[in-house]
Amino acid sequence: MREVKVVLLPGDGIGPEVVGEARRLVDRVADLDGVRVVWESHAVGGCAIDRYGIPLPEGVLEACAASDAVLLGAVGGPKWDTTSPDDPRPEQALLALRAGLGLFANLRPVKPIPALYGASPLRTERIEGTDLLVVRELTGGIYFGESGREGDRAFDTCSYTRAEIRRVAEVAFESALARRRKVTSVDKANVLESSRLWRDEVIRVAAEHPDVELEHMLVDSAAMQLVSRPADFDVIVTENLFGDILSDEAAMISGSIGMLPSASLGGHGPGLYEPVHGSAPDIANQGIANPIATCLSAALMLRYSLDAPHAALAIETAVEQVVGLGYSTRDLGGTCSTHEMGELLISAAG
C-alpha cells in the first residue's frame, strides 16, 4: 500500500459532521488505488479562536505544507462576527492557508445530477446539459490588497500583476483542453484598470492555446447569463471577488449549495479541498447537514493530489447512484440524516 498524509481541518458549524462522513468514505475507497490515508486533524477558524485566541494556530500551516493534501470543512459563524479590524476572524485562517500554501486557483465544477433537476430554482429545460467549471483566482485582488480606515473613509485596493493573471489563466485553458475547449474570461474592463490588465494578459495566454475558444464577458452580464443559459458555459475564469460571487451563484444551479465541491491548487505542494457551502451554524450538531459536497471535494482530492483516480470515480459514481435512487438530505427535500447519507454512499462505493 502507498501511504499518503492528509491534514483534516473540520472547522466550525457543520464542518466536523460532514468531514467525518467524507473521511469514512475515503477510507472505504482508497485501496482501489492501493492507497492508505494517514489523517492528522487540527483546529482552525472560530473553534481555534475559542481555544487559542487566533484563527490559525502555530504549526498548522507547517503541518499542511508537509502533507499530501488538506481537507477542510468550513469556518465562521455569527459567534465570531465583528466589525473591529483588530479582532480575529475565522476567515483569516482560510486566507492565510491559501496564501501560505501558494494556492492561487480555485476550481468549482458545476454539473447538476438529472435526478435533482427539480430541486433547482431554474427550470429543467434551462439547466439541462450544464457542465461548467469556475476557475477563480485566489491570492490577489481586493481581498489581499491594501485596506484601512481614515476617519470616516474606508478603502480596499484591488491590484493584480501579469504573473498572477497568467498563472490562473493557464489553469483555465489547460482545464478547457480536457473539456469542451472554451474559456469565458469575466472582468469589468469597461470600468476597472485592473480588469483591463486582466483582459490583456488573458488574450496573451489564449494566443498560446489556439485550440481553445476565448470569449470575454463583463461580470454583470455573466451574472445574468449564468441563470439564463448556464449550459453554454464551459470554463469560466475570473478574479478573486468576481469569482467568489459568481461561483456561489452557479452553485444554486444544482439545487443546493450542499452538493458542490471545490479544489484550491497551486504550482507545488498540497491542494486544499473544501465544500462550497459555509458552516451553517443554524443546523450544526443536528445531524441533518448534507455531506455530499464534502465527499465530492474528497473525490477531487483523490484525483488531483493523491493520484487515486479509481477511488475518486467510485465516490462520484456512488453520489449519482444514491441520489438517483431518490435519497437526499433535508436541503433537497429528503429525510436522510448526515450519517445515513454517509452510510448510503459507503455502501454504493464499496
Q: Whole-prediction pTM value? A: 0.88
- pLDDT score at 99: 86
- pLDDT score at 224: 97
Residues carrying an active site annotation? 143, 188, 220, 244, 248
Domains and CATH numbers, the chain: 1-103+257-350 (3.40.718.10), 121-254 (3.40.718.10)
- pLDDT score at 195: 98
- pLDDT score at 5: 98
Q: What is the 3-state secondary structure (H, E, C) of the chain?
A: CEEEEEEEEEECCCHHHHHHHHHHHHHHHHHHHCEEEEEEECCCCHHHHHHHCCCCCCCHHHHHHCCCEEEEEECCCHHHCCCCCCCCCCHHHHHHHHHHCCEEEEEEEECCCHHHHHHCCCCHHHHCCCCEEEEEECCCHHHCCCEEEECCEEEECCCCCHHHHHHHHHHHHHHHHCCCCEEEEEECCCCCHHHHHHHHHHHHHHHCCCCCEEEEEEHHHHHHHHHHCHHHCCEEEECHHHHHHHHHHHHHHHCCHHHCEEEEEECCCCEEEEECCCCCHHHCCCCCCCCHHHHHHHHHHHHHCCCCHHHHHHHHHHHHHHHHCCCCEHHHCCCECHHHHHHHHHHHHC
Per-residue pLDDT tens listing for the chain (350 residues): 899 999 999 999 999 999 999 999 999 999 999 999 999 999 999 999 999 999 999 999 999 999 999 999 999 999 998 878 789 999 999 989 988 999 999 999 999 888 888 888 899 999 999 999 999 999 899 998 999 999 999 999 999 999 999 999 999 999 999 999 999 999 999 999 999 999 999 999 999 999 999 999 999 999 999 999 999 999 999 999 999 999 888 888 887 788 889 999 997 889 999 998 899 999 999 999 999 999 999 999 999 999 999 999 999 999 999 999 999 999 888 999 999 999 999 999 98
- pLDDT score at 132: 96
- pLDDT score at 86: 82
